[in-house]
């Protein structure tokens, strides 16, 4: 994924968990069975994430504290942050899906079309 070279911080452990990303696919799969560990090859086969992307993605998830590692196995971390992150993403996605096709989403510049409701001129 391309990044803004000037602002990119390689030490930043922030992970993009947007729908469809490799990180999201791996984490969702691991969260289904948080007490079970999987090898990278097993994760690639189960999630469809390319084998060459599994390791680097798991390393980023580990740096963010979302997965744990016991060579050669990986599992979701046993941490309340997982539940909080999952709830946040579900909430955002639910809101987005509920309102993505409303009038505002379909009309660019909707805020310019709103009537002036100020008390001026009355």
65 contacts 84 by C-beta, under 8 angstroms: no
Share of the chain above pLDDT 70, in %: 59
30 contacts 38 by C-beta, under 8 angstroms: yes
| CB < 8 Å & 24+ apart, contacts of 97-104 | none
Query: In the prediction, which pLDDT does 14 show?
Result: 72
pLDDT in tens, 3-53: 777 876 766 557 888 888 999 999 989 988 888 999 999 999 999 999 999
Distance CA(24)–CA(17), nearest Å, equals: 5
Higher pLDDT, 9 or 56: 56
């Amino acid at each position: 994924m391309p990044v803004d070279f000037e602002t990119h911080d390689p030490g930043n452990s922030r992970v993009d968990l947007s729908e469809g990303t490799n990180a999201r696919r791996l984490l969702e799969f691991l969260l289904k069975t948080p007490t079970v560990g999987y090898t990278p090859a097993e994760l690639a086969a189960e999630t469809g994430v390319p084998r060459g992307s599994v390791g680097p993605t798991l390393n980023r998830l580990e740096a963010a504290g979302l997965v744990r590692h016991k060579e050669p196995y990986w599992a979701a971390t046993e941490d309340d942050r997982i539940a909080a992150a999952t709830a946040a993403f579900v909430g955002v996605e639910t809101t987005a899906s509920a309102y993505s096709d409303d009038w505002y989403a379909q009309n660019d510049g909707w805020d310019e079309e709103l009537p002036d409701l100020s008390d001026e001129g009355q």
